[in-house]
Copies of this chain bind each other. A is one copy, B any other.
Amino acid sequence: MGHVTIADSTPVKLCVVIVGLPARGKSFISQKIVRYLSWLSIPTESFNCAANLLKILDKLNTTSNELFTSDVSNINDDLLVENRKQTLNQILKWFDNIDVCGVAIYDGINGTRDERNAIEKSLKEQNIDTVFLESYCDDETIIKSNITDIESTSPEYSTSKSMEDTFKSVSNKIHFYNNAYQSLSTTDEADLSFIKLINFSAQIVLNHIDSYLKSRIVYYIMNLHVKNRYIWLSRHGESQYNLEGKIGGDAKLSPRGEKYSVKLVELVNKYIPNHDKLEVWTSTLKRTQQTAQFLPFPQKQWKALDELDAGSCDGLTYEEIAVKFPEDFKARDDNKFEYRYPGGESYRDVITRLEPIIMALENQENVLVITHQAVLRCIYAYFMNVHQEESPWMSIPLHTLIRLEIKAYGTQVTRIKADIPAVSTYKEKGTSKLGESKNSINVMSGSVISGITDKVIK
């Protein structure tokens, strides 16, 4: 019997069936839900109907462009039926391997009542619950901005020669689907469980949101924003414990850590635009508050930002842990995400308590979060979509200001080095020695939704 987080409290198989015309931000919403639920350790996967269609068309030596401008509607229909069947089968097959709780996202147009009823029926036969999620949009500005995003991110348009090409292709596709399209309706589909977003989230209609997991998805979507913005992150300055190689505790900064707290003011002034509106969040531990001590901005202390609690190992060095608790030491290396220190926490536990922070950060811009190595790994993993097995092994060096530039379809990272030396607190797997991570850049740039670059400014 393992320990339980909120993710496991609803043993359920749920399929979120996306509904919407092209350029309604369907894939953006799908990917955000995948990222959020995966981060909460709920197995979640998105199945993209359009990607499957491309493969079918490839075999037929045709393109989606030809399909959506073709007049031979019978052939089209057969193709599309085949395409839907394929996607649904992928989903059903995926659920075969899900034991307790899993969420599949059926990312497609699903524009007619008949289609939706057929999908719901097939899922119900396998005891899979369904919620439809429509992105309805009649605001031309939003649609145009979505097409611009599609152009740079969708595989379907990666071969388009120009923005005009993409606009034309997408318009054809919209036209193709528009005739038969039926928006979700509380009168004609009164029994369906659905979420209808009107012009992103200006208006939302919820029909029979009858489970905890569904309400969490709604809550998350309500807190999404598409506005481009920055979030700033930093570890505390080097602490006395860092110098001594000890973990945990509530030590003060080392002299070099003190220097970083002075330097940080300079970095903020130089690199953070609109820093007059900046808000600084720290943990309740001395080393983060000392790091923020010279920043003349409103500050908030969050208990939820405290370092991963090392329980009985608090105040020990990795060498001491390896000697005193050899089995724990090995168990942690084997599964660092799930391993919980005796009387302390695991990475999974930290994520559970960080969830409200993530929700607050989704609503915020101009925040500088000064916190700890493990906590930053978890926050970073959310924004950069890092897999939970990798996230505890990421290298987040001391004395570095990290800028996350959050855009609709990806997060770009810039690291600004303060040029004040500090010890490394990175422990490689299978050793108790501290040293620089070899794969830090790879890990940091490897697994984002899209469009990430990881720049280091020295």
Contact = CB atoms under 8 A, between A and B. Distances in A.
Interface of A: 1-6, 8-9, 186, 201-209, 211-212, 215-216, 218-219, 222-223, 250, 281, 284, 299-304, 309, 340, 342-343, 345, 349, 352-353, 355-356, 359-360, 363
B209 A303 contact: no
A4 B209 contact: no
A277 B189 CA distance: 33
A360 B9 contact: yes
Contacts of A211: 363
A219 B215 contact: yes
A349 B358 CA distance: 17
Given A9-B300, A303-B5, A352 B356 contact: yes
B360 A212 contact: yes
Given A300-B8, A343-B250, A207 B212 contact: no
Identical chains in the assembly: 2
Given A218-B219, A218-B222, 11 more contacts: A3-B302, A3-B303, A4-B281, A6-B304, A201-B209, A203-B208, A204-B205, A205-B206, A215-B219, A303-B345, A353-B353
A286 to B, nearest CB: 11
Contacts of A219: 215-216, 218-219, 222
A204 B222 CA distance: 13
A223 B186 CA distance: 20
A215 B222 contact: yes
A41 to B, nearest CB: 13
A contact patch SS: mixed
Nearest to A281: B4
Contacts of A342: 250
A203 B205 contact: yes
A337 to B, nearest CB: 14
Contacts of A303: 3-5, 340, 345, 349, 352
A202 B212 contact: no
A209 B218 contact: no
Contacts of A4: 281, 300-303
A326 to B, nearest CB: 20
A8 B281 CA distance: 12
A440 to B, nearest CB: 29
A222 B209 contact: yes
Contacts of A9: 300, 356, 360
Contacts of A352: 303-304, 356
Contact of A209 (B204, B212, B353, B355): B204
B363 A212 contact: yes
A368 to B, nearest CB: 15
Nearest to A305: B4
Contact of A360 (B6, B186, B208, B222): B6
Nearest to A360: B9
